[in-house]
Amino acid sequence: MIKHLAKRTLGITAAVTIALSATTAVSAYAANDDMDAVSLAKKLVGIDYSRSNETPSAGFDSSGLIYYVYQTLDYSVPRTLAEQFKMNKKSINDISKAEPGDILFFGSGKTPSYAGIYVGQGKMVMSSQSRDEVVTRNVNDYKKSFIGGKSILSATDRLKAELILAAQKYLGVPYEFGAKYGQTKTMDCSSFVKTVFAQYDITLPRVSRNQAKEGKYVSKSNLEAGDLVFFTTPDSGKSIGHVGIYVGNGNMIHTYGEGGVKFTSINKEWWADHYVTARRILD
């Protein structure tokens, strides 16, 4: 009887462990599914290389990193390098033509040995066996081994990645309330947002309260990279007085006060208590 009970207990424990593991895996994906491909890839830099694994907790091998990033963003991607290389997606034959979010393969002939995710500015993120972790590398250092690439992002998702990269170029630009639009030596919140979106031929009003009328409403629980998030400020009372660009993982890029353009959590301090609404411009 005791032996039977011990076996049954062991079985229940195993079942619970499996169930918890499955839940953890789902949570791991869900935690980052509001990001763009480039930001998510960069976030994983520093995680251990681990053969045959594809999660942040267990580590990544080369194809496992790619599998995780794109599965998290709801793209169907095979698990192995060979299958990823053969995907029926737009091919990239010239490495200089790669765009943010593209997958680049390296090896010999038609046999890939490793791969990376292009993150713009001549760099890619890859899980490196020799460095034993996820690293950022200059694409040109691997040019001789390039055997092809795949472009799998939708036009909207590619635009999200490019827009967030464009916004980051202004990190540290000083804040000035009422800064003149058209120059980028100083910015206020809405001139910053208007400037970034204008680079992609998207025209927004000049002030945040009017920007909050653009696009379509999106709830805070369904935010995605590229959405505009709006807040009140000490000077705006109950009206909208501030805007930022949501970048995923609970953060926005915006400009306000000391430090100018920066990343800030929308779930902490003033911003958590004074969040008003969000609008989706990219759809």
Known catalytic residues are 189, 242, 254
**Biggest alpha carbon distance in the chain?**
82
d(CA 36, CA 52): 25
Structure-token pair, residue 14? 């195993």
Of the candidates 166, 192, 198, 193, the residue with the CA atom closest to the CA atom of residue 179: 192
d(CA 175, CA 83): 48
Phi, psi of 122 (to 5 degrees): 75, 20
Helices 2-30/62-72 angle, 10° precision = 70
The β-bridge relationship of strands 261-265 and 228-231 is unpaired
Of the candidates 31, 27, 43, the residue with the CA atom closest to the CA atom of residue 164: 43
Helices 155-168/189-198 angle, 10° precision = 130
CA atoms within a 13 Å half-sphere pointing along the CA-CB vector of 163 = 32
